[in-house]
Structure 1
Amino acid sequence: MVIDRIKNRFKKVLNQRGDINAIGVLFVIFIIVIFIFGSIDIEGYMSTHKKLSQAADETIEIMKAEGGFDTSTREFFLDYCRKKGLDVSSITIEATPKLVQRGSDLEIRASTTYILKAFKPLGLGELIWPVHIKVEGLSRTYFREG
């Protein structure tokens, strides 16, 4: 019943040439399309954040076992990001260097950027959102001196 009234109203609006309501309907449709494209970009940002976070979580586990971060750990992190589909040329990473004794703090910070393209047709260009990740943990390995 309500749906029939809505259908009839849309038919009347579309049949009236030059009616101001048709412009309103087109404007509402335009706003809805912008929200749909914006939500797609927000999902892309969240996906990038999740992928970078997973890579940092996997890397911190290796750092806990090895007592810190070095070039092989960096390669593991970048390879993991590459497999997840991230652009490794835009990723920056800082971490606690090796050799950290058991019980000491370890930290990894990674960041990249996500480019929002949904608002480009509106003349806003490409908006850039930074994606920052920080993961902490404790070293598990004891290194003997000497």
Structure 2
Amino acid sequence: MTPARRLRRRAQQGFALVEALVAVALLAIGLIGMLGLQARSVSALEDSAMRTEATLAAESLLGIMATDQANLAAYAVAEGAAPGAQLKPWHDATKARIPSATIGVTVTPGAAAAGTRVDIRIAWTRKAGAANQHRVTSYIAGSKT
């Protein structure tokens, strides 16, 4: 073997190891990116679950109020205040499903044709510290509050 050929052969030794290390580094970068995407998708899933719970809770309260139109004013509660006897079961159930929830319900009597305006605000804080809220405004027709 000539010295030039030996030198070329020696220069190529270990090249497969360098290729393997580069491949492992690229794989690691890809896996870290996938973990980040997975964490974001879990966060988005939790947020959508809370938003769904807030929507269902608001619709449930509107159904309860529509069947108890004689006592609509009793369902009003300021944010952070203790609920009255009429609202307490729903309030407690909502706080159980959305642990950090702040709930406010405003009942505004309207003209006979318009009905009573009900504003429901459910706010909560995600684990990441971001504040969210769900607002529903509805009118209960035929109420005489």
The Cα RMSD (Å) is 2.6
Structure 1: give runs of 5+ residues left out of the alignment. Answer: 1-14, 116-126
Count how many residue pairs are aligned between Structure 1 and Structure 2: 116
Question: Pick from 81, 92, 101: which aligns with 1:91?
Answer: 101
Question: Pick from 68, 71, 89: which aligns with 1:76?
Answer: 89
Instruction: Give the TM-score taking structure 2 as reference length.
Output: 0.65
Offset, 1:47: 0.3
Q: CA contact under 8 A between 2:107 and 2:117: conserved in structure 1? A: no
User: Segments of 4+ in structure 1 off by > 4 A?
Assistant: 98-102
**Is residue 126 of structure 2 the alignment partner of residue 114 of structure 1?**
yes
What are the residue-to-residue correspondences of 1:1-146 with 2, within 5 Å? 16=17, 19-65=21-67, 66=69, 67-68=72-73, 69-70=75-76, 71-82=84-95, 85-87=97-99, 90-97=100-107, 102=112, 103-115=115-127, 127-143=128-144
Structure 2: give runs of 5+ residues left out of the alignment. Answer: 1-15, 77-83
Partner of 2:7: none
User: Could you say which structure has the greater relative contact order, defined with CA pairs below 8 angstroms and 6 or more residues apart?
Assistant: 1
Q: CA contact under 8 A between 2:117 and 2:140: conserved in structure 1? A: yes
Amino acid corresponding to residue 108 of structure 1 in structure 2? I
- 2:125 and 2:45 map into 1 onto residues whose CA distance is 14
The change in CA–CA distance for 1:50 and 1:29 in structure 2 (over 3 A counts) is: same
Partner of 1:121: none
Offset, 1:76: 2.9
- 1:22 and 1:142 map into 2 onto residues whose CA distance is 69
The change in CA–CA distance for 1:142 and 1:35 in structure 2 (over 3 A counts) is: closer
The change in CA–CA distance for 1:73 and 1:133 in structure 2 (over 3 A counts) is: farther
The change in CA–CA distance for 1:26 and 1:95 in structure 2 (over 3 A counts) is: same
The change in CA–CA distance for 1:108 and 1:95 in structure 2 (over 3 A counts) is: same
Offset, 1:82: 4.4
- 1:73 and 1:133 map into 2 onto residues whose CA distance is 22
